Structure 1
Amino acid sequence: MDTLATRWSRLEPHVTIVGPDDDRPRPAVLLFHGCGGLRGHLPRYAAAAKARGWRAVIVDSYAPRGWSRQFAMATVCTGLLLRGWERAGDILATIHGVSARPEVDASTLVLAGWSHGGWGIMEAMSADRERAGALGLVDAGAVSLEAVKATYLAYPYVGVAALNRMRPWRHCPKTLAVVAAKDHLTTVRNAERVHAMVRNCGAEVETWIADGTHSFDEPMTAPPMRYDDALCAEAIRRFAALLEDTAVAPPV
């Protein structure tokens, strides 16, 4: 079982930080991919963050584990490996590691997750981190979530395998939840029920029902999933607006 430091030491070589070319402490948004791994849409979100004076931290959860996209598709996407609570350990370790970097304003972080990444964020927000071995870490409670001011959840996985989807959050930041109207992994009704639970914990939760499929912003078509360029542009616009509503970054 990892400590926060050892998990971060494994993740850090496979992290990409995008942002203005300076060393000023800036707010940061941490980006966590879906079960298909790093894809071409995350750099577009990172570029939107950079344009607004933020740093974007793209985290690859598969390379440190030696997993290919094909392996992940056959195991993570089918629920055999790396359930959401395990992925949450990567999220906490990234908060721990990134907060120590001088070019990051450690008081202002946003977590953004797509599908499986969103599942991991929800587990991190709701878990009892003081419990021994919580989220696969020895010291999960040693990292504070107070700096997490908002979350961006893009069609997060809230299906039957997400056993804790209705567990109240213990940390309740402002949240923008993107619901795909044609998501084959959940109904709109189920997704809205989960997000209403989050809202009830005291969080400001905005939901956007996008008229697309799961992964509509990912530049590929793998039925029943289909890319939609207009919806992707709107998703990036809303993501950027969430950052601007959360904190004013130093001018670029």
Structure 2
Amino acid sequence: MRRAWRIALIGLGLLVLVLLGQMGARYLGLLTPRDTPEERSALLTPFYNVYLPENGGGPFPTALLASGCDGPHDNMARWAGMLNEQGWAAVMVDSHAPRDYLDFQVWRLICAGQIFTGTERAGDLAVALEDVRGMTFADPDRLMLFGASHGGWAVMDLLSQAATPRPPQGLTRWPGDPQARGLAGVLGALVAYPYCGPGSLAARQGWAAELPVEMILVRNDEITDEQDCLDIAEGQTAVRPVAVTMLENATHGFDQQEREALSTLEFSPDATATALGLGRDFLGRISGPAPVPDN
């Protein structure tokens, strides 16, 4: 009996080592599939969800939205609605559906850090930015990035990867102008309760992009450690200070009402209203005057 337990424990230990090795390899990009920007664009384009303001004919300043690890939900529509009210277009970049990560709840492996890191997902945002620059409704010189949770991780890791000529993890090269490294026309980035832990490239090396960045965090976040995000913000003061707002009495994903059964997270209308107000203020700070159309 004792021998059986010993064998079982050894087997369990080996399984843990394999999983840790797989996770480490994934975070280092060793297991990340590589494709060209054109191939990635073909994958993502059918799943872009576009929200346009009701008034005006454009071109509009445009924000790209990246959801949490469980895929797009109602919170993305709320942020898009706020953007539209402020005269901004919004493009929701769905990284899940094109890869069938919503089938059979595969997204749970993303939330557990087993597949599809934010560092890898940053490549989706780089390609989507280049795609949006070519969309007739979008002003390519007035773009913004928004990410929630896992999407916030992807946004910050895109900023971090833009510091080097190396393209985002999983891409063979930078899309568009390689000198711009994906950030041409980007006026700023807003992230809500992002993952900022040791798996984040931004946590390890920060970023050099001279963009205004704002974080909306929650106190005692039970999913991600908000202190890790505060550490990133503190480390960025030499480049450009990161604005941080800490929300009290709210949980991770406070702006998302659609929940899986048994979820301990709670939708908070008050925290959502506060966050959307911070978003409006952020847009006002980065927008500047609208361009004068040519006669």
Q: Same fold (TM over 0.5)?
A: yes
Within 5 Å, give how 1:43-62 maps onto structure 2.
Answer: 43-62=77-96
Q: Shift in Å at residue 170 of structure 1?
A: 2.5
| 1:179 equivalenced with 2:214 (yes/no) | no
Structure (1 or 2) with the larger CA radius of gyration:
2
Q: Deviations over 1:122-142 (max 9, x none)?
A: 1111115422x6421111263
CA contact (8 A) 2:73 2:258 kept: no
Task: Check conservation: 2:70, 2:108, Cα contact below 8 A.
Answer: no
TM-score (norm 1): 0.91
Q: 1-side partners of 2:106 and 2:151: how far apart? A: 13
Pick from 61, 69, 72 the counterpart of residue 27 of structure 1. Answer: 61
Alpha-carbon contact 1:122-1:165 (below 8 Å) kept: no
Equivalent residue number for residue 194 of structure 2? 156
Question: Once superposed, what is the RMSD of the aligned Cα atoms?
Answer: 2.1
1:231 alignment counterpart: 271
Q: Which residue number in structure 2 is paired with residue 130 of structure 1?
A: 165
- Does the 8 A contact of 1:99 with 1:105 survive in 2? yes
Name which of 107, 119, 138 aligns with 1:104: 138
- Give the counterpart letter for 2:36 in structure 1: T
Q: Which runs of no fewer than 5 residues in structure 1 stay unpaired? A: none
- Matched with 1:243 is 283
Deviations 1:16-44 (A, max 9, x none): 11112554211101000000101111111
Give the 3-state SS of the residue equivalent to 1:95 in structure 2: helix
Matched, 1:38 2:72: yes
Name the residue aligned to 2:23: none
Q: Of 67, 91, 102, which aligns to 1:68?
A: 102
Match of 1:4 in 2: 37
CA distance in 2, matches of 1:152, 1:69: 29
Counterpart of 2:118 (choices 69, 81, 84) is 84
| Corresponding residue for residue 190 of structure 1 | 228
* Structure 1 residue identity aligned to 2:37: L
Is 1:129–1:140's contact at 8 Å kept on the other side of the alignment? Answer: no
How far the C-alpha of 1:191 sits from its partner, in A, is 2.0
Q: Which amino acid aligns with 1:241?
A: D
Deviation, structure 1 residue 163: 5.1
Alignment of 1:140 with 2:174, yes or no, is: yes
The structure with higher relative contact order (CA 8 Å, sep 6+) is 1
Identical counterparts, % of pairs: 28
For residue 267 of structure 2, what is the amino acid of its counterpart? Y
CA distance in 2, matches of 1:207, 1:69: 35
1:164-207 deviation per Cα after TM superposition (whole angstroms, max 9, x unaligned):
413120213101101110211333332211111233322x4211
SS in structure 2 of the partner of residue 166 of structure 1: helix
Measured after TM superposition, the shift of residue 63 of structure 1 is 1.0
Give the distance between the partners of 1:208 and 1:164, measured in 2 at CA: 19
2:207 counterpart residue number: 169
Q: Distance in 2 between matches of 1:237 and 1:69?
A: 34
With over 3 angstroms needed to count, the CA separation of the structure-2 counterparts of 1:144 and 1:191, relative to structure 1, is: closer
Aligned residues: 249
